[in-house]
Structure 1
């Protein structure tokens, strides 16, 4: 079942009341939404609709922008890829924060802002996840202390991302080399990998096979091999129209 975009099972009633009324456009509610973002970071929950409402308030009231809250929203959005949450949040930020500034003035301003640098670094991580460059994602994340600072407030960030990567791997593979999966999940030991695969994913491990240790993914509707027969129906009337147009003279 597809959950409605504006619904969140863990959303407090007080936040729901704001979103359903005119107070969602009241600048004074920014502090309430900011506290709610902090709660999401602690509880490992994510409420995209409420977070977008906060970013919209920032858009209307730029002087109220709280950079740490914005980056926390973006980091939380990374944990639910491949949903469009990150792109939606990024689109509500000021033009000069975007990964590709539209003009020289925006580019110049972006070079002196720590906030803009943070946003663009997170956009880089999003691009790597969306393009399934998982090993490069972890390498980039571990390459700069700023990344560690950006994700520090989000409890269980690495674990949440690993679970999302595993979900995507499970859609595309029936089996995968343990060595490759170690890199994709950034699990530095075979013991850690096997524990994650068995306890979190409920996948099977085949050791000492012809290709070394292989992770077996159960069949599901995404990775199941199915034959597909396509047919096209072409009748004489379709050819007739083409022939008539060939004899028609241009007006």
Structure 2
């Protein structure tokens, strides 16, 4: 997924706002909101700009749009295992994060709570539970509807995590993780993830992250670091 953390990749008008005092100007709220919509439509992601918009919402709560907030949170899910979701939540009103919603934040509170559940499952690698939860309530379908390619992006992120931590995995387990089966599973695993299938086992290519290597720890301790200890050993007690 393209990320605009690098200022060179970000649209120039957004960069100019983020680098100037206008990032605190309420009039730029609509520009950032349109930018979030573009990220959802075109599959790009700009955490820095999204956080700037949430900060504007903090200062100007009357300008906040529930749909934009949920879209930002959904987009942040697509870059797990990063901490972007948590960063976004820290800029939300505390009333949205408590277990009991305020009367004025009922719908948005429920959306935030449901997305938090998804984030927890992704962070803890409960991928099969993630898909089951996603399919358990029509509200989840509504929450991710604006984010183009959400499910495929999540699958790619799961493949990245798998690639960095596993050498072999059973087909059945990975099917549950990816929520795919049969030809769709074979195509994704081989063409997108770059894994191979041998019978009921999926083989992950050896790489620097999943290779088992011994770790040798060397410590350099200078003698003068112990000089005080040695000196005290020879001191006479008072």
TM-score, structure 2 normalization: 0.89
- The match for 1:220 among 203, 207, 215 is 207
Q: Contact 1:96/1:110 (CA < 8 Å) preserved in 2?
A: no
Look up the match of 1:166: 159
Q: By how many angstroms is 1:67 displaced?
A: 0.3
1: CA distance, partners of 2:220 / 2:48: 44
| 2:173 is aligned with 1:186 | no
Give runs of ≥4 in structure 1 deviating > 3 Å: 3-8, 230-240, 242-245, 247-250
Q: How many residues align?
A: 235
Cα RMSD of the aligned pairs, angstroms, is 2.6
2: CA distance, partners of 1:48 / 1:149: 22
Q: Contact 1:8/1:47 (CA < 8 Å) preserved in 2?
A: no
Look up the match of 2:37: 38
Q: Contact 2:169/2:203 (CA < 8 Å) preserved in 1?
A: yes
Look up the match of 2:75: 76
| 2:200 is aligned with 1:202 | no
Structure 1: 5+ residue stretches without partners = 102-106, 208-212
Q: 1:113 is paired with a residue of what secondary structure?
A: helix
Q: Deviations over 1:158-202 (max 9, x none)?
A: 000000010001101111111000000111x22211110111011
Q: Contact 1:76/1:154 (CA < 8 Å) preserved in 2?
A: yes
- Structure 1 residues 142 and 58, CA gap change in structure 2 (3 angstroms): same
Look up the match of 2:135: 142
2: CA distance, partners of 1:150 / 1:181: 25
| 2:163 is aligned with 1:175 | no
Moved more, 115-124 or 13-22: 13-22
Look up the match of 1:7: 7
Q: Contact 1:97/1:110 (CA < 8 Å) preserved in 2?
A: no
Structure 2: 5+ residue stretches without partners = none
TM-score, structure 1 normalization: 0.85
Q: By how many angstroms is 1:6 displaced?
A: 5.6
2: CA distance, partners of 1:186 / 1:127: 18
Q: Contact 2:167/2:203 (CA < 8 Å) preserved in 1?
A: yes
Q: By how many angstroms is 1:229 displaced?
A: 2.7
Q: Deviations over 1:47-78 (max 9, x none)?
A: 00010110000000011110000000000000
| 2:118 is aligned with 1:125 | yes
